[in-house]
Chains A and B, each alone.
Chain A
Amino acid sequence: MTTANGTASAAGTKRSFKLLIVDDSNIMRRRIERSQQFDELEVVGSASNGLEALELFKKTDPDLVTMDITMPHMDGIECIQRLVELKPEVRILVISALADKATAVDAMEKGANGFLHKPFTDRQLNEAIAELIRGL
């Protein structure tokens, strides 16, 4: 945790980034929101399915998205594709319980930038987000 924090502040860029959290479990959404430790991140919304995510994305124009895969009303893979079509420079971190590598490869192919496997530790989450911020 400290590492992630350290890297973020060491980078020194005080630009702020907007984060959208997409997951069909509200426990998971809260977990992600509470566990991320970046001062420069502002959570602009959270969605529980792909369609809702798409709506919120258009409204809030985030820089970063955490994306679940298995969701009702448009799954994560399709959602990633739509988001990248809307904003190619968006950075997407897939957070999924799906263990098969094919899903991860599909997500990456559609335009995701990172993959985090559920369950995850706070440290893993922050490192994965730090990696995404580095690319911004």
Chain B
Amino acid sequence: MSVSGADRTRKLLTVGVGTVLIVVMGAVLIAGFRLATQMNANVAALQTASMLQTYPAALAQHLTSLRDRLEARAYAGQALADLRTTVESFDRDLKRLASGPAEGPMQIDQAMMLWRQYAPVLEPVLAFNGQPYIDTDEAGSVLSKEGLEHYADVKRAHLFARENADRLQGMLAAVATGLQQQASAQANRLRLLLSAGVIAALVLAVAAAYFQITRASHERAAREAQEQTRDILRTVKEGFFLLDAQYRIGSVWSDALTRLFGRQNFAGLPFEELLKDLVPASTLATAMKYIKLLWGDRAHENLMKSINPLGQLEVQVDNGRGGRETRYLQFDFHRVMGPKGVKHVLVSVSDITSNVLLARELQESQENASNQLDMVLGVLHVDPVQLSTFLDATEAGLQLINAILKEPARTDAEFRKKLDGLFRELHSIKGEASALNLMSIATRVHALEDAVSELKKRAELSGNDFLPLVLKLDELMAHIKTVRELGTRLATLRESALPARGASQGGGVDPNEEISRTLHSLADRLAAEHHKRFKLAINGLSEMPAAYRATIKDVLIQMLRNAAVHGIEPAEVRRASAKDDIGNVRVDFRRVSDGYELVFEDDGVGLSPEQLKAAAVRRGLITSDEAAEMDTRAAMALIFRPGFSTKDDVSMDAGRGVGMDVVARSIYALGGRIGVSTQPGRYTRFKIALPATEEHASTAVA
């Protein structure tokens, strides 16, 4: 800003001084030229004047010569001719002198006047054209009558010429002197003028040199500044650029930006374009709104900094080896103020991946510490019998997972099948752990699930990809062992402290009663975690034969989770649709003529065939054409398909795309059927029919 102002002033000054000097030089040259012309005329006039001074004497001389010739009766023709020539020359030169330079000396007029007086005297002499002599025998040559008159004229003219010669010559000398003075005055003026010209030229040269030097130094300074800017931009680790009011990147950016975004040219690139391929659309929209706010004046810098949505941006970038890797970028925005408000926004981008990872590690280690405590607390709250049942089942499950891992697999499809098996086993362990509030185990299993999900997303699978899973699984098994030891020690402690109570609980806990308790505690936990309010009513579970117990427990846990996460609405939503604030979940188990019937019902939001179809299309289970042709019944059946889930985010309790398909498969495995009916906004009801068991048959007989 200030540099360009000084630049403009300097330019104006250069043009001004240059113009003045050129005008001065021009004036000097024109005046000099005119003076020189005048002097030239003066010199010619001076020459004429000097020459004219000789004429009065010459005139008198010619007249003397003519008179003498006439007296000697000698040939007078030549003398008369000379006289004529002289008079003509004099008359011509004098007139030229008089009419010459405008400022001729005034003596010239006096000389002219005197010369005019010569005319009447000289005229008869010059006009003579006859024979001056007559030759006679007696007297020889004598003057003729004409000759006498001529002679008289000559004598008179001679007299006049002799009398006036000095005066005329004096006048002409004065003219010459005058001219001389004029010439010397002009010469002085010319000298002066030339000096002025020389001085002006010198000033011009000095000024030109000065401007040349200052310009060179300015240019050098500008070049140095440019080089320094370039060095800064090349060296800084952050990506720097300016955004203009159209949210476009300016023409200068730091080299780090090239490395961060793997792109060469940023000039004029819209900010939106820079982020488009790196972040989800919603983040992009927020970022653009934020940038717009930066141009307003409502929020000050600190507030804007605190709501910066790009403070820690997760992006997927090319890792240079053909793969993608996750980096964390931090964008900072600073307003650059101009006279009319925000002029630019300076954006700095830094790669904070290592900071983020470090912070995460720290957090993980802190969480681990608090997890230890949670574990102890969790184990304390679980009934020892329940705990050992769970641990047995879990260990069996983990053995199964180990077996799955050891299964040889060669093709990609086989690997994928392996993953699906792993996933189901893990999911059911997680469900049980959550139900018992053993969060230390649930969290670990969840992490394993995450790892499996991650593998499922890979384009290609190989045996090596499973190695990290094996390690994690080992860790989980070690943890289960720790929990078991802790449980045993706590049980011993409890028994020694409360021998009576320990004894009464040790023996006869009804396993069906235990399922009931598990479900109630899971319901409480789910309600608290998902901010839902609902009552769980369980009827007839004591009728359940032992053969179905394990499966039905899993099934009920899964359905209860679905009901709490997807089914029951938040209290305010329920109120808005004229329902009681508190939801209802009902489990009815009863004998029927050909076996058993289990009804699971919640009075929540119900299932919408359209939403189910849309979710299935989104997950690629069916095409949109297929969806369009599906009737309500077929749409409802979608929830039993593998990989179906309507919740997009993944939490501990739902949303992994595993659930009802597992339920359906377990029911089929028992030889049963499952069906669903719903009324959107009112309820969802699952009806499960199970065949009679031997136990049932025998009791029926009895």
Instruction: Report how far A38 CA is from B327 CA in the complex, Å.
Output: 45
Q: Which of B4-12, B66-74, B289-297, B355-363 forms part of the interface with chain A?
A: B289-297
Instruction: Report how far A104 CA is from B282 CA in the complex, Å.
Output: 14
Question: How close is B294's CB to chain A, nearest CB, in angstroms?
Answer: 10
Residues of A close to B283: CB separation below 8 A: 102
Is B44 among interface residues, defined by CB-CB distance under 8 A?
A: no
Is B303 among interface residues, defined by CB-CB distance under 8 A?
A: yes
Interface size (B, Cβ < 8 Å)?
Answer: 18
Residue in A closest to B575 when the chains form the complex, CB atoms: A72
- Name A105's contact: one of B298, B309, B572 (CB within 8 Å): B309
Decide: B300 and A131 in contact? CB cutoff 8 A: yes
- Name A101's contact: one of B298, B309, B572 (CB within 8 Å): B309
Is A17 among interface residues, defined by CB-CB distance under 8 A?
A: no
Question: How close is B297's CB to chain A, nearest CB, in angstroms?
Answer: 10
Decide: B309 and A113 in contact? CB cutoff 8 A: no
Instruction: Report how far A101 CA is from B303 CA in the complex, Å.
Output: 12
Residues of B close to A78: CB separation below 8 A: none
Given contacts A72-B572, A113-B298, contact A105 B286 (CB under 8 A): yes
Instruction: Report how far A73 CA is from B286 CA in the complex, Å.
Output: 24
Residues of A close to B303: CB separation below 8 A: 114-115, 131
Decide: A101 and B311 in contact? CB cutoff 8 A: yes
Question: How close is A97's CB to chain B, nearest CB, in angstroms?
Answer: 12
Instruction: Report how far A115 CA is from B298 CA in the complex, Å.
Output: 12
Decide: A109 and B292 in contact? CB cutoff 8 A: yes
Residue in B closest to A107 when the chains form the complex, CB atoms: B307
Interface of B is mostly: helix
Is A52 among interface residues, defined by CB-CB distance under 8 A?
A: no
Instruction: Report how far A78 CA is from B292 CA in the complex, Å.
Output: 20
Given contacts A114-B303, A115-B306, A115-B307, contact A105 B293 (CB under 8 A): yes
Is B308 among interface residues, defined by CB-CB distance under 8 A?
A: yes
Instruction: Report how far A73 CA is from B309 CA in the complex, Å.
Output: 27
- Name A109's contact: one of B293, B308, B572, B575 (CB within 8 Å): B293
Is A54 among interface residues, defined by CB-CB distance under 8 A?
A: no
Is A108 among interface residues, defined by CB-CB distance under 8 A?
A: yes
Instruction: Report how far A72 CA is from B299 CA in the complex, Å.
Output: 28
Is A106 among interface residues, defined by CB-CB distance under 8 A?
A: yes
Given contacts A101-B311, A115-B307, contact A106 B572 (CB under 8 A): no
Residues of A close to B293: CB separation below 8 A: 105, 108-109
Instruction: Report how far A22 CA is from B258 CA in the complex, Å.
Output: 47
Residues of A close to B572: CB separation below 8 A: 72-73
Task: Give the A-B pair count, Cβ closer than 8 A.
Answer: 42
Residue in B closest to A113 when the chains form the complex, CB atoms: B298
Instruction: Report how far A115 CA is from B289 CA in the complex, Å.
Output: 16
Residue in B closest to A104 when the chains form the complex, CB atoms: B307
Residues of B close to A73: CB separation below 8 A: 572
CB contact list, B573-623 vs A, under 8 A: 575
Instruction: Report how far A109 CA is from B292 CA in the complex, Å.
Output: 9
Contact size range, A: 10 to 19
Question: How close is B342's CB to chain A, nearest CB, in angstroms?
Answer: 15
Instruction: Report how far A100 CA is from B309 CA in the complex, Å.
Output: 8
CB contact list, A95-124 vs B, under 8 A: 100-102, 104-106, 108-109, 111, 113-115
Decide: B289 and A106 in contact? CB cutoff 8 A: yes
- Name A102's contact: one of B282, B300, B311, B575 (CB within 8 Å): B282
Residue in A closest to B285 when the chains form the complex, CB atoms: A102
Instruction: Report how far A108 CA is from B297 CA in the complex, Å.
Output: 11
Residue in B closest to A72 when the chains form the complex, CB atoms: B572
Given contacts A102-B282, A102-B286, A105-B293, contact A113 B307 (CB under 8 A): no
Decide: B308 and A113 in contact? CB cutoff 8 A: no
Residue in B closest to A111 when the chains form the complex, CB atoms: B298
Instruction: Report how far A136 CA is from B432 CA in the complex, Å.
Output: 57
Given contacts A106-B289, A109-B289, A109-B292, contact A101 B300 (CB under 8 A): no
Residues of B close to A108: CB separation below 8 A: 293, 298-299, 307
Q: Mark B606-645, 1 if CB is under 8 A from A, else 0.
A: 0000000000000000000000000000000000000000
Residue in B closest to A134 when the chains form the complex, CB atoms: B300
Residues of A close to B308: CB separation below 8 A: 101
Given contacts A72-B572, A115-B306, A115-B307, contact A105 B300 (CB under 8 A): no
Residues of A close to B306: CB separation below 8 A: 104, 115
Question: How close is B231's CB to chain A, nearest CB, in angstroms?
Answer: 35
Decide: B289 and A105 in contact? CB cutoff 8 A: yes
Question: How close is B359's CB to chain A, nearest CB, in angstroms?
Answer: 15
Residue in A closest to B571 when the chains form the complex, CB atoms: A72
CB contact list, B632-661 vs A, under 8 A: none
Q: Mark B270-287, 1 if CB is under 8 A from A, else 0.
A: 000000000000110010
Instruction: Report how far A92 CA is from B292 CA in the complex, Å.
Output: 19
Given contacts A72-B572, A115-B306, A115-B307, contact A105 B299 (CB under 8 A): no
Residues of A close to B311: CB separation below 8 A: 101
Residues of B close to A113: CB separation below 8 A: 298-299
Residues of A close to B298: CB separation below 8 A: 108, 111, 113
The 18 listed contacts between A and B (C-beta, < 8 Å) are A100-B309, A101-B286, A102-B309, A104-B306, A104-B307, A105-B290, A105-B307, A105-B309, A106-B286, A106-B289, A108-B293, A108-B298, A109-B293, A113-B298, A113-B299, A114-B299, A114-B303, A115-B303
Give me the interface of B with A, judged by CB distance under 8 Å.
282-283, 286, 289-290, 292-293, 298-300, 303, 306-309, 311, 572, 575
- A101-B307, A105-B307, A105-B309 are known; give 7 further A-B pairs, CB within 8 A: A101-B308, A102-B286, A105-B293, A108-B298, A113-B298, A114-B303, A131-B303
Give me the interface of A with B, judged by CB distance under 8 Å.
72-73, 100-102, 104-106, 108-109, 111, 113-115, 131
9 A-B pairs with the lowest CB-CB distances in the bound complex, closest first: A101-B309, A104-B307, A72-B572, A102-B286, A105-B290, A109-B289, A105-B286, A105-B289, A108-B293
